[in-house]
Amino acid sequence: MKVVEKLNMLCGREINRDLLFMKMNYFFAWGAYAPVIPFCATIGKQRGYSALAMGITLTGLQIPSLVVRPLLGSVTDAYQCRKLMFLIGEVLSALAVLGLIFLPGATVAESIADEIVFNTLLYWVFFFLLFFLYLGCVMRSLMEDTICVSLLGDNVHNYGQQRVWGAIGYGIISIVSGVVVDWFSIGQAHDDFRPGFVIAFICVAFDVYVSAKIKVEQVKKTETFSGNMKTVLTDFRVIVFLIATISFGFFYTFVLYFVIWYLEDITNLHHPEYEPHIKTIQGLSQTIQCFLGEVPFYFVSSYIIKKVGHMNVFSLTFVAYAIRFALYSIIENPVVALSVEIFHGITFALPYSAGVAYAAKLAPVAAEGTMQGLVGMTMKGIGIPMGNFVGGYIIKNLGIVDAFRIFSIGSLMVCIVVSTMNLIVKRMYKTENNVVQTS
């Protein structure tokens, strides 16, 4: 409290205490992701799990997003318990990371047959620790976005200015954890990810502390709540929006999980001299994504969304994905490939901000959590699992480079479909207010 008062004196204006703690939450929560989530696929690869096995694994990890998000959104809207679920999700993530720290390490020279992998106890311990980590992340991320847009009120277009602190935390912790993992792995036959897990646990602990200080107020559920949601779900604008978020999640998967895999493969094939520093390079890729990609676009997202329109942002995103994937498919040097990561602002920060803001605008009163849960389910519960399975299958059979060529073509095709559907929406909703919201 004293810190906030001092900041008010320095700035000469009143600082919103809850939004300050919201920014701190984003910083520590996304910072905790950095040493774990992007490395899941390569951690499994080091254990001898094939791309297909990890694709199936990562698909299974998205079950909480498919089931929990819409259910949790509805429950917290009805029983006004957002903060409780917020904190439970963070504690669950902390326990899962703690389990990963003490999970026995494993490394193999070649991939283990998939049928053998799925019959080992160590695999299932690994899977369920990641499963509960993802479950906690789902609970926390849904509640934090819902709480954040509620705190912003009519200024929901400023969501990106809050969420940018997640990118800053992610970017800082990425490079720190990458360097630390490389340093602790010197002289070992495999990478030691445990120092990264320790860093993640420390971040989650700080996150629990600052989140407990956020004041959460909810509007009571109205009698017309169910009717309003039915109207929203039959609105063609919403249907097109959800199709766009599914597609966004599908392509985002290849960046979230398989860029790290890609950097490792092209290093092994073309530049083995970089192998002792591969975790630093991979960590740096995440840092560039955040500081040169996400951070600038979170700051300007409000302006771009107002000028371009929520749905046109998604069309722009799919064009950017096509270019990004095409560049991955022709670059052989992992250091040169780092330059491609600046596309992350257009391919993640901008559409993520547009999605959260548009969902808030479309949501009926007191149904913000339900609507955010629905959007999160389509992106992370449908789009990402589809991307994991399809990506894992294609990479195993064709290799990572050819896979990115296919993803590039696919993204352009999706852009055409979504843009066409958006034009249809504009014709259906001709009033000025609706055109602004759907353009």
CATH number at residue 104: 1.20.1250.20
Token readout for 118 is: 């799925």
Token readout for 425 is: 């929406």
Q: Are 196 and 39 in contact (CB under 8 A)?
A: yes
> Position 91: which residue type?
V
Predicted local distance difference test score (pLDDT) of residue 344:
95
Q: Is residue 2 part of a domain?
A: no
**For residue 434, what are the CA distances in angstroms to 26, 312, 315?**
32, 14, 18
Residue 436, sorted as left (phi over 0), alpha (psi -120 to 50) or beta, turns out to be alpha
Predicted local distance difference test score (pLDDT) of residue 228:
61
Predicted local distance difference test score (pLDDT) of residue 370:
75
Q: Are 302 and 160 in contact (CB under 8 A)?
A: yes
Predicted local distance difference test score (pLDDT) of residue 437:
45
pTM for this model (two decimals): 0.77
**For residue 239, what are the CA distances in angstroms to 56, 359, 362?**
28, 12, 12
- For residue 404, pLDDT over 60 is answered with yes
Q: Is residue 423 part of a domain?
A: yes
pLDDT bin (cut points 50, 70, 90) of residue 14 is low
Predicted local distance difference test score (pLDDT) of residue 13:
53
- For residue 366, pLDDT over 70 is answered with no
Summarize pLDDT for 114-151 with one digit per residue, the tens.
Answer: 899 999 999 999 999 999 999 999 889 888 988 898 88
Predicted local distance difference test score (pLDDT) of residue 154:
78
Q: Is residue 4 part of a domain?
A: no
Summarize pLDDT for 28-38 with one digit per residue, the tens.
Answer: 999 999 999 88
Distance of CA 360 to the CA centre of its chain: 18
Q: Measured between alpha carbons, how far is 180 from 199 in angstroms, rounded to an integer?
A: 10
Which residue in this structure is represented by tokens 């055109």? 435
> Position 197: which residue type?
F
Give the pLDDT mean for 256-276. 92
Q: Is residue 7 part of a domain?
A: no
Instruction: Please report how many Cα atoms fall inside a 13 Å half-sphere around the Cα of residue 3, on the Cβ side.
Output: 5
Q: Is residue 297 part of a domain?
A: yes
Q: How many CB atoms lie within 10 A of CB 429?
A: 18
Q: Are 150 and 22 in contact (CB under 8 A)?
A: no
pLDDT bin (cut points 50, 70, 90) of residue 324 is very high
Which residue in this structure is represented by tokens 């630390």? 180
**Sign, Cα dihedral of 222, 223, 224, 229:** positive
Number of domains, the chain: 1
With CA atoms as reference, report the closest residue to 407 among 218, 251, 281, 298: 251
Helix, strand or coil, per DSSP, at residue 188: coil
Q: Is residue 5 part of a domain?
A: no
Domain that holds residue 88: 12-215+224-438
Average pLDDT over all residues of the chain: 86
Q: Is residue 42 part of a domain?
A: yes
Q: Is residue 166 part of a domain?
A: yes
